[in-house]
């Protein structure tokens, strides 16, 4: 009898130590064989196994959710019931899922708004916390700094159609500064730019006693303008030569000149019908 009792106790202690060491080694699936025990000793081992199941289940669920979130797969909120501290773990995971879901939703909303041309759309950063708020604030600031030069460009081109805008002096960074510089070249070459330039040169001429140069636009604008004038003169001269050869028949059927002003170096003969 004493030997049987000793063997039962030794088996209980051995399984208890095995389960403890397995937990320490991270072997969370290890369980003891309760069938090797009898009576209350069996209940003790079954209790060990059930306790481990109820500890490991929330841990496995947490690990699975963290793995999905890390891969960009946002899982649904956890609805299964847990007790005590395990329920706190579940609630914290649900808060994490909600926060990441809001971040993703706002990012997608901003993207779709830009694709639809809704350039004034912004996300509400106040709905987020911590670094997630910083991400949304960064989105909004980035969009502001992209759209502001676009609006400036659109406004400047509109002004160039009927008014004479002043050169852009506001500071921009990177490629936006290149856009500003190009717009300033267009503004300077516009009639309004000529007027301002003439006024400045006249003022400088009065101060220095000399005449300022007029009608010179920067870059390639004056060269292009002179080139177009030269092409127009050459075309008119060629037309005038054909008109002199073919007379009214040519003029009436193929070409109607813009004016009767003779081109320098040529003479017009009166026509009779």
Our count of domains for the chain comes to 3
| Interval 95-118 mean pLDDT | 91
127 pLDDT above the threshold of 60: yes
In a domain, 177, yes or no: no
Domain shared by 66 and 95, yes or no: no
Burial group, residue 152, by CB count within 10 angstroms (0-12, 13-18, 19+): middle
Domain shared by 68 and 34, yes or no: yes
CA 44, CA 48: separation in Å to the nearest integer? 6
Burial code of 48-60, b = ≥16 C-beta within 10 A, e = fewer? bbeebeeeeebee
Last residue of a domain, one of 148, 176, 193: 148
Domain shared by 65 and 96, yes or no: no
Last residue of a domain, one of 101, 131, 148: 148
| Token pair listed for 258 | 């813009």
* Owning domain of residue 236: 228-259
**pLDDT one-digit tens code per residue, 177-198:** 777 777 777 767 665 555 555 5
In a domain, 198, yes or no: no
**pLDDT one-digit tens code per residue, 252-262:** 444 455 555 55
In a domain, 222, yes or no: no
Domain shared by 2 and 67, yes or no: yes
CA 139, CA 125: separation in Å to the nearest integer? 9
**pLDDT more than 90, % of the chain:** 29
In a domain, 112, yes or no: yes
**pLDDT one-digit tens code per residue, 36-71:** 998 999 999 999 899 888 888 888 889 999 999 999
Last residue of a domain, one of 133, 148, 163: 148
Q: What residue has token string 């490991």?
A: 56
Q: Rounded to two decimals, what is the model's pTM?
A: 0.54
Q: What residue has token string 């669920």?
A: 61
The pLDDT value given to residue 216: 47
In a domain, 17, yes or no: yes
In a domain, 249, yes or no: yes
In a domain, 142, yes or no: yes
The torsion of the CA quartet 125, 170, 219, 207, rounded to 10 degrees, works out to: 180
Burial code of 103-137, b = ≥16 C-beta within 10 A, e = fewer? beebeeebeebeeeeeeeebbebeebeeebeeebe
In a domain, 67, yes or no: yes
**pLDDT one-digit tens code per residue, 194-234:** 555 555 555 455 555 544 444 444 444 454 455 556 656 66
């Amino acid at each position: 009898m004493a030997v049987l009792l000793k063997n039962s106790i030794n088996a209980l202690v051995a399984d208890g130590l095995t389960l403890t060491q397995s937990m320490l080694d991270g072997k969370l699936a290890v369980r003891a064989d309760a069938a090797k025990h009898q009576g209350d000793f069996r209940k003790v081992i079954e209790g060990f196994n059930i306790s481990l199941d109820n500890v490991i289940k929330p841990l496995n669920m947490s690990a699975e959710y963290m793995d999905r979130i890390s891969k960009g797969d946002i899982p649904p909120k956890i609805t299964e019931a847990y007790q005590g501290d395990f329920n706190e773990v579940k609630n914290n995971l649900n808060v994490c899922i909600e926060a990441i879901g809001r971040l993703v939703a706002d990012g997608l909303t901003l993207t779709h708004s830009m694709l639809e041309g809704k350039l004034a759309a912004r996300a509400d950063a106040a709905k987020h916390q911590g670094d997630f708020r910083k991400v949304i604030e960064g989105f909004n600031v980035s969009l502001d700094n992209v759209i502001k030069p676009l609006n400036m460009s659109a406004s400047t081109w509109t002004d160039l159609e009927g008014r004479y805008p002043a050169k852009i002096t506001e500071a921009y960074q990177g490629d936006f500064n290149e856009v500003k510089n190009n717009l300033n070249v267009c503004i300077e070459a516009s009639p309004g730019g000529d007027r301002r330039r003439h006024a400045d040169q006249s003022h400088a001429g009065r101060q220095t006693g000399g005449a300022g140069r007029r009608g010179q636009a920067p870059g390639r604008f004056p060269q292009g303008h002179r080139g177009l004038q030269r092409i127009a003169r050459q075309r008119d001269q060629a037309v005038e030569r054909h008109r002199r050869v073919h007379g009214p028949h040519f003029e009436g059927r193929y070409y109607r000149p813009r004016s009767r002003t003779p081109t320098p170096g040529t003479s017009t003969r009166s026509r009779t019908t």
